[in-house]
Amino acid sequence: MHVYSINACISTPERIANTLNELSTLRWDAVCFSETRATSKDVSLMYKHRLILHRGTEHGGIGLLLNSNFEATVVAKKSVGNRIFGVKQNTDTNT
């Protein structure tokens, strides 16, 4: 799995699009974001990529961008405070 960690402000659709454009030259499966400044939401993006965001504080915000190959595997998400959240994936290919 190819995972990257990025400190990026992705608080607007334009900034999310710019980030996806920059990632287009890389092979990636998941990208972790810190200090996103984005609101809490779960967004399906172009090419069926999935962006899961959590904002616990005024100046924080964290996120996980999943490649379309993995976006449908998320079955649950849970925040653990303001700066940590996790996702549970079903990776059983027989389901």
Categorize the per-residue pLDDT at 53 as very low, low, confident or very high, splitting at 50, 70 and 90: confident
CB-CB contact of 79 with 85 (8 Å):
yes
More confident residue, 17 or 60: 17
pLDDT value at residue 69: 83
> Cα dihedral angle (83, 1, 73, 42), rounded to 10 degrees?
40
Indicate the domain borders of the chain. 3-89
Residue 75: per-residue pLDDT: 75
| Percent of the chain residues past pLDDT 70, beyond the cut | 89
Q: What is the mean pLDDT of the chain?
A: 79
Structure tokens at 2: 């190819």
Amino acid 81: pLDDT:
74
DSSP secondary structure string for all residues of 59-85: S--EEEEE-TTTGGGEEEEEE-SSS-E
Instruction: Report the pLDDT value the prediction gives residue 89, as an integer from 0 to 100.
Output: 77
